[in-house]
Amino acid sequence: MGLIGPNGAGKSTFVDAISGFLPKHTGRVLLGDRDLVGLSPTRRARLGLRRTFQQDRVPPSLTVGAYVRFVARRRLAASDIDEVLEFFGCPPARARLSSVDVGTRRLVEVAANVVSRPRLLILDEPAAGLSHDEHLALAARLRDLPARYGVALIIIEHDLDLVRSVCPTLTVLDFGRVLASGPQAEVLANPDVVKAYMGETELLK
C-alpha cells in the first residue's frame, strides 16, 4: 500500500504512532490479531512491525554486513546477508558504510530490515537520494518483495512514479484525515485527491 499526501498531511505522525514512537494517541494498532498499543518500538519490531526513517541513521563506522546483522537481530548466515544485499544492489558485506553514498545507505537500511523477516515493513521515503535509474531499479525490487520475502509493505513516498509502479492500493492523508483509500486508479482519479495532493496537471501525467 502507498501512503501519500501533501507536506503536513500527517504521514510521519501516522508512522510514529503505529511503530510506537508516538505512544499517546487514540485508536488501536493491530498486527494480525495482536493489539500493539502500549508496547515499545522495540517490542513491536520483535513482533514483526519494522520501519525505516527519513533521516540517515546508518552508522558509517560499521561494515555493511555488521550493520545488517545489528538491525536484523536474528541469526544470519553469510549467504543470507549476501543474498539480500545482491537483491537490493547494495555493496558487498565487507564494504565500509563510510565509503557508501547516502542513497545507497538507505538501500542497505531497507535490506537489513527485510532480512529480519518482519510481517509488515513501513518504508519512509526509501527513494530519497537515489538517481532516476536507481528509482526504477528500486521500484522493480519492491514489487517483488512481498512474494519473495513474505512481507507486507506500506510505502510513504513523494515520488509518485515509484508509488504508481509499485502500489496497487493507495491511502491519501490530508491534514490528519483519510481523504481517499482504495485501488490506485480510483484514488488518483478522485478530484479531492487531485486538488489536495499536487495539482491536476502533475498528478494525472
Taking only the tens place, the pLDDT of each residue in 31-46 is 999 999 999 999 999 9
- Collect all residues with Cβ–Cβ distance below 8 Å to 23 and sequence separation of at least 6: 38
Residue 70 CB-density burial (10 A; 0-12 exposed, 13-18 middle, 19+ buried): exposed
- Collect all residues with Cβ–Cβ distance below 8 Å to 27 and sequence separation of at least 6: none
Taking only the tens place, the pLDDT of each residue in 137-187 is 889 999 999 999 999 999 998 778 889 899 999 999 988 899 999 999 999
Match 528500486 to its residue by C-alpha cell.
138
Using DSSP's 3-state secondary structure scheme, residue 60 falls into: coil
- Which residues on neighbouring strands pair with residue 155, listed in sequence order? 2, 123
User: Which domains are seen in the chain, by residue range?
Assistant: 2-57+118-203 (3.40.50.300)
**Model-level pTM?**
0.89
